[in-house]
Amino acid sequence: MQAINWQRPWLQGWQETGERVARRAAAGMPLAQALNAEAGAPVRFVPQDELPAELAYEDYIFRSRQCPTRDNLHDFFNGLCWLRFPQTKQRLNQLQAAQIEAQGILPTRGPVRDALTLFDENAALLSAPQPLWDALLAKDWPTLFIKLRPLWAQARLYLFGHALLEKLVEPRKPITAHVYRAPAAINSVADLDAWVAQDLSAEKLASKPFAPLPVLGVPGWWPDNENFSFYDDSFVFRPQRPLS
């Protein structure tokens, strides 16, 4: 696995567990075993080859409470997500399994499974004052990042998606999260995990309750955005499409 700079702002809260797991893996321990050495996950991590050919990945996890794991960075962060957000990960898996039970495995996932996968891979959770959320929904980037910049001191952005975390090991300006709104009265990651797990439903996810956010634009997350010309890149900070 690649070296990870745990001092990045978006990895706050992930470092202690992540470093322990990474050390075990670097010493030659299979990643599944390195993750199982930590407490807190509602699943047991197993090597990828234990996934039966006849079962879908999410269905196997639901039935067996075992998570097939490859020795790579993507599954490293997936394992960390199971450890840090156990209730949310379990809820996503339950919803995936319910969709598979109802519809079987189709050539395309359908809107609910697409949204579940998008959340699992690329979601971030934002607790923020209403004006920030309004500007984000409007893709009003100058207001969001410049005019309202002081309000970000009252916001909390928690990355969740394991593919998102993997991409940010090598930060690039276009990396964009799909943001899901969290309430302001969240005092800990455990409280956030419990709230999201309770809030998620197939109906809500089918409505695509996400807002795109280029994460390196977040104040304090990337030195280059202290120069406000950073936000002039319309290929990254795309304007709202006009209503037809």
pLDDT digits (tens, 9 = 90+) for 39-82: 999 999 999 999 999 999 999 999 999 999 999 999 999 999 99
Do 103 and 70 lie in one domain? The reply is: yes
3-state DSSP call for residue 183? coil
Is 113 found in the same domain as 185?
no
Predicted confidence at residue 242, as pLDDT, reads 65
Residues linked to residue 45 through DSSP beta bridges, in sequence order: 67
Contact 100, 56 (CB under 8 A): yes
Number of domains within the chain: 2
Amino acid in the structure at residue 90: Q
Grade residue 106 by pLDDT with cuts at 50, 70 and 90.
Answer: low
Three-state SS at 27: coil
Domain range for 126? 122-232
Is 23 within the bounds of a domain?
yes
pLDDT at 107 (0 to 100): 62
DSSP SS3 for 170 = coil
Are 77 and 139 found together in one domain?
Answer: no
Same domain flag for 228 and 186:
yes
Q: How far is it between the farthest Cα atoms of the chain? A: 57
Residue range 97-112: mean pLDDT, rounded: 81
The answer as to whether 240 is a domain residue is no
Specify the pairing of strand 176-181 against strand 123-127: parallel
**Contact (CB, 8 A) for 178 and 223:** no
Domain endpoint, select from 73, 96, 118: 118
Q: Is residue 153 part of a domain?
A: yes
The reply to whether 129 and 175 lie within a common domain is: yes
Instruction: Indicate if the pLDDT at residue 108 is higher than 70.
Output: no
Tens of pLDDT along 125-149?
999 999 999 999 999 999 999 999 9
**Same structural domain, 18 and 92:** yes
Q: Which of 102, 118, 134 is the last residue of a domain?
A: 118
Give mean pLDDT, residues 14-18.
98
Among 68, 92, 118, the domain-final residue is 118
Structural domain contains residue 2: no
Residues 105 and 198 in one domain: no
Quick one: 114 and 22 in the same domain?
Answer: yes
